[in-house]
Copies of this chain bind each other. A is one copy, B any other.
């Protein structure tokens, strides 16, 4: 059990009791003096601190965390070729240490759940379980139009799935993934879509990330946009987690909304790769689409800090729409928390009794929170993620007062891995 004493939630002082992996009680500060708390309990005095839901980073490639800074300032499709040429050398060990570093960075920046798309997913799974971060992982398929490769991918997907059924533990979410409409053949897209639907799995993809992707798709598929093309193939549905969705027509937005697709905004990556920035947040929200937030992998964005992504998303929305009211703070917080939880179908991303105990504890005793403005404005616009003092995931502390167990060893080991790979 964990008892957080005298912590602020939405402007009120509260005591929070955590039992097993759930928030079991939230009551006015001081109430816990009357609670019958027998057994093993860790009590943290949180005076002057604020509880927020742990962030849900809905689009990552944790296996790429040791590749950041490779291919700076390159055009998207050139960058992708460079990344692919390096990734061919990767192995399970490299992905494991890369994912360990990713988890370290996410914990330190307040993220308690991530939705990953990569290869060697058992490595990422092992890393995330060890680090105590909630995760949605699966095999990422890509055949680049090679039909023999497509068959190998199917075999691999089946093998991983069988393996996953054995090793999957509480808190792990299994999904499948394919890269994008331009890197996966139609047959394989149909196959993985059926595979996901039959097994009730989420399907995680890149969609409408660049203008070129849309133009190439129209040229290759009789004028259909990537969204329309996937709809023709029967892929769109509430189990689809679509990253980027940056270059959308009105009809695309209607289709995504009608099919219940979850969309994931990754502004840092899109801006840095110059893929685009006019994410149609308002139109998509008004159409009823569930919009989540992600960082993308470190190779493009170049970190896993969702709080930074929140500020960048707000700045870009306000700027390109010439509207300082665009993307209001409460909606931005939802994008970074509960909307992702909804997409992953977990009872997290909110601070209520019965929800998963995924909580970040924010230290406000610094210059950034010294203002009469709202806590949320200070958190997003003024502060940095180093205001995250402690993090609880699944009812366990994964960071206490900026200390994470084993951090130094992980960083040392990752340094060795980079040397080995180069």
Are A75 and B324 interface neighbours, CB within 8 A? yes
Are B382 and A271 interface neighbours, CB within 8 A? no
What chain B residues lie within 8 Å of A305 (beta carbons)?
A: 384
Are B324 and A373 interface neighbours, CB within 8 A? no
Give the residue name and chain of the B residue nearest to A75 (CB).
Answer: B324
A179 CB-CB contact with B under 8 Å: no
Contact of A274 among B67, B74, B322 (CB under 8 A): B322
Are A377 and B69 interface neighbours, CB within 8 A? yes
Contact of A382 among B303, B372, B384 (CB under 8 A): B303
Give the residue name and chain of the B residue nearest to A270 (CB).
Answer: B319
Are A325 and B73 interface neighbours, CB within 8 A? yes
A259 CB-CB contact with B under 8 Å: no
Interface string of A77-100 (1 = CB under 8 A from B): 001000000000000000000000
Contact residues of A between 272 and 288, Cβ < 8 Å to B: 272-274, 276-277
A213 CB-CB contact with B under 8 Å: no
Give the residue name and chain of the B residue nearest to A375 (CB).
Answer: B69
| Bound-complex Cα distance A34 to B325 (A) | 62
One of A143-151, A166-174, A411-419 contacting the partner? A411-419
Interface string of A349-373 (1 = CB under 8 A from B): 0000000000000000111101111
Smallest beta-carbon distance A309→chain B, Å: 11
What chain B residues lie within 8 Å of A101 (beta carbons)?
A: 367, 370
Are A73 and B303 interface neighbours, CB within 8 A? no
Are B315 and A381 interface neighbours, CB within 8 A? no
Contact of A72 among B298, B374, B384, B415 (CB under 8 A): B374
Interface centre among A298, A308, A328 (most CB of B within 10 A): A298
What chain B residues lie within 8 Å of A185 (beta carbons)?
A: none
A24 CB-CB contact with B under 8 Å: no
A38 CB-CB contact with B under 8 Å: no
Are A68 and B378 interface neighbours, CB within 8 A? yes
A230 CB-CB contact with B under 8 Å: no
Give the residue name and chain of the B residue nearest to A325 (CB).
Answer: B73
Question: What are 17 A-B interface contacts by the 8 Å CB criterion?
Answer: A68-B381, A70-B371, A72-B373, A79-B324, A268-B315, A271-B315, A271-B319, A272-B315, A274-B322, A274-B323, A298-B382, A301-B381, A302-B373, A302-B377, A303-B382, A367-B414, A384-B386
Give the top 3 A-B pairs by smallest Cβ distance, nearest first. Answer: A69-B373, A271-B319, A271-B315
